[in-house]
Amino acid sequence: MNTPTDPLQPQLLHADEYLLVFNKPSGLLSVPGIGPDKQDCLRVRAQQDWPDALTVHRLDMSTSGLILMARGEAMHKTMSLAFEKRLVHKRYVAVVMGEPRPEPDAQGWSRIDLPMRVDYQNRPYSIIDHDKGKPSLTHWQTIGPGPIAGTTRLLLEPFTGRTHQLRVHLAAIGHPIVGDHLYAPPDGHAMAPRLLLHARELCFTHPVTGNRLSLSHPAPF
């Protein structure tokens, strides 16, 4: 990987012969994009040191936080199935515009239950679509005030994993994520130099050792 002074340097949080977990900085792609200027990404950087590292799930380029990679095809298949069966639990931290009004359940979580789909006529956007959208569920809790006046810090737990789910869901209830160039209004986008969304926690059972792994890294905002 590149030198420690590189602002896009991923931080290794866990490594064994089967799995890797990195803290990805905002601004780094998870996988290569289209075009020669979009080849620098977490997967390419990880494979410099672990040639067998394969992408299991992704984060948006502007989202920071924890990403799990599998070592080898067999482990990739195993962990992809674990994600599909929702055996890998993820929690995010976001700073949103305004102050959402919680309607908590018995466990203290509020819900955003709005079906979504990719907006094929207007990529890369996703949209709420009550007729053709796929079921999409996000749980959220208020942590406290955000770092900017008029904002709130939330803990988010996506039950499904649709494209831009957290960003679209929060915008749909009138509280877009600060710094979001796609779904926030211009004043919300201008509030921060980056999207204030961070994948803070990953929790799952190691498929080989059987140990419960709980990894976390605090949000840099």
By annotation, the residues acting in catalysis are 60
Q: How far apart are CA 57 and CA 83, in angstroms?
A: 8
DSSP 38: G
Q: How far apart are CA 156 and CA 178, in angstroms?
A: 15
CA 83 distance to own-chain centroid: 13
Q: Extract the tokens encoding 87.
A: 């055996």
Q: Specify the residue for token string 């009550």.
A: 130
Contact 31, 55 (CB under 8 A): yes
Q: How far apart are CA 21 and CA 217, in angstroms?
A: 11
Contact 12, 18 (CB under 8 A): no
